[in-house]
Amino acid sequence: MRRGVRADPVTLRTRALAATPPVETADHRPADLVDLAGLDPTIRFDIRYAGRNNFMGLKLYERPAAYLQRPAAEALGRVHRALATKGYGLLIHDAYRPWFVTWMFWEATPAESHSFVADPAKGSRHNRGCAVDLTLYDLKTGKVVEMPGRYDEMSARSYADFVGGTTAQRARRQILREAMAAEGFEVLPEEWWHFDYKDWRSYGIGTRTFTALASGR
């Protein structure tokens, strides 16, 4: 969904970058973020937050990249290979997300839609490199499949158990959900496209930008 924030984007970003992530006391594994582009050449990407075609209407990432912690990335590769036997491939919209972007989402989203964005006071599982937003494409046609709702649509159509839509749309949503669950990814009840990897508690909230990740910082 393309919308656009009401706040001034430059001010919003400046405030987000100046904000402080929550302090965490638990011990975490060191981050080991893997670029998903290297996983399998047939995984496709449409990284919406690296352009303006997203619910904020803003370019939030410096480059169209997707990273996950290594065990989650390897599990996602297995999901993709399993789906190929059913005629589908994965198309990824988002994975690791720096914390300041979660702060911007929360600030710009009206309170009545806050169930569709993570509270920065807790951090998103995307910030931990353990959540992925994705859908399916048809291996024969190359086309992205229709699901019961659109990516980042803030409505009941996004609910993982929404009973509307067509039988074929619900069946494809179920194929995605089952393939992901088989490798340790749990669907978010509010969003059919969002999956949390089982070990997300083992990783801390990340603040690294995509520029820093590219240069190994």
Question: Using an 8 Å Cβ cutoff, are 17 and 100 in contact?
Answer: yes
Least distance (Å) from ligand LVM2DEV6 to the CB of residue 27?
23
Binding to ligand LVM2DEV6 in span 162-191, by CB under 6 A? 188, 191
Residue closer to ligand LVM2DEV6, measured from CB, 137 or 192? 192
Question: Using an 8 Å Cβ cutoff, are 192 and 162 in contact?
Answer: yes
Question: Using an 8 Å Cβ cutoff, are 36 and 43 in contact?
Answer: yes
State both tokens at 48.
Answer: 């919406």
| Catalytic annotation present for 191 | yes
Binding to Zn ion in span 184-213, by CB under 5 A? 194
Name the 3-class secondary structure at 91: strand
Which of 45, 101, 118, 133 forms a contact with Zn ion (CB under 5 A)? 133
Q: What is the DSSP string of 33-77?
A: EEEGGGT-TT-EE--GGGSS-STT-S--SSS---EEEHHHHHHHH
* Site for ligand LVM2DEV6, rule CB under 6 A: 102, 105, 116-118, 124-126, 131, 133, 152, 188, 191, 194
* Site for Zn ion, rule CB under 5 A: 133, 194
Binding residues for Zn(2+), by number, are 126, 133, 194
